[in-house]
Amino acid sequence: MNNAIHSFSRLFKRPKEQPQTYKQKIHDVIHYDGVKRRVLVTQKALPYPAGELVISRVDLNGLITFANESFVYLSGYSLAELIGKPHYVVRHPDMPKMVFKSMWATIQAGKKWRGYIKNLCKDGTHYWVYATVIPNYRGGKVVSYTSVRRQASAAKISQMEADYQVMREKEARQ
């Protein structure tokens, strides 16, 4: 192996700690397609791999067609578990519905969307990102969407935790 090429898995290892040491909560989530899932939420944040971009691509139906190494690492799923699955597999119950509504409306209108997302890992931990989602054109038509994410600052994360709580409470009253 060429040592000059950085090996992601050598640099970043998921913490060995068991999620059982954190307060755990089971959430029942219902997705846009009617699928009901039971997810584990520990509210333990996973450190973002410094300097890395977290990238995934979906088809027009929101099914994952590509995930880079840092996405696979952070999600805690294997690549095989992610490919072909709806992107909501990493949806955190703390994310307000209207964030994704505005994302899809923007990208389906052919525009770029930017925003903060809290994603849920397989083991119930989470990570925050600042995402840029773009439509990919081929022959003048949108054929897929790509999300490129970078690290969110601690200040932004605490602001967004508060903002999203207000949005969730508003959604719960509707």
Ligand X SMILES: Cc1cc2nc3c(=O)[nH]c(=O)nc-3n(C[C@H](O)[C@H](O)[C@H](O)COP(=O)(O)O)c2cc1C
Task: Answer yes or no whether residue 116 interacts with ligand X by CB under 6 A.
Answer: no
Residue 124: count other Cβ atoms within 10 Å of its Cβ: 20
The distance of Cα 29 from the centroid of its chain, to the nearest Å, equals 15
Task: Answer yes or no whether residue 75 interacts with ligand X by CB under 6 A.
Answer: no
- By beta-carbon proximity to ligand X, the closer residue of 60 and 166 is 60
**Gyration radius (Cα) of the chain, Å:** 16
With H, G, I as helix, E, B as strand and everything else as coil, classify residue 64. Answer: strand
Query: What's the CA gap between 131 and 158, in Å, rounded?
Result: 16
140 to 159, contacts with ligand X by CB under 6 A?
145-147
Q: Which of 88, 93, 130, 167 binds ligand X (CB under 6 A)?
A: 88
- Taking the complex as a whole, the smallest distance from the CB of residue 1 to ligand X amounts, in Å, to 30
Task: Answer yes or no whether residue 119 interacts with ligand X by CB under 6 A.
Answer: yes
Q: Which of 42, 48, 91, 157 binds ligand X (CB under 6 A)?
A: 91
Task: Answer yes or no whether residue 137 interacts with ligand X by CB under 6 A.
Answer: no
Position 96: which residue type?
P
Query: What's the CA gap between 137 and 125, in Å, rounded?
Result: 34
1 to 60, contacts with ligand X by CB under 6 A?
31-32, 56, 58
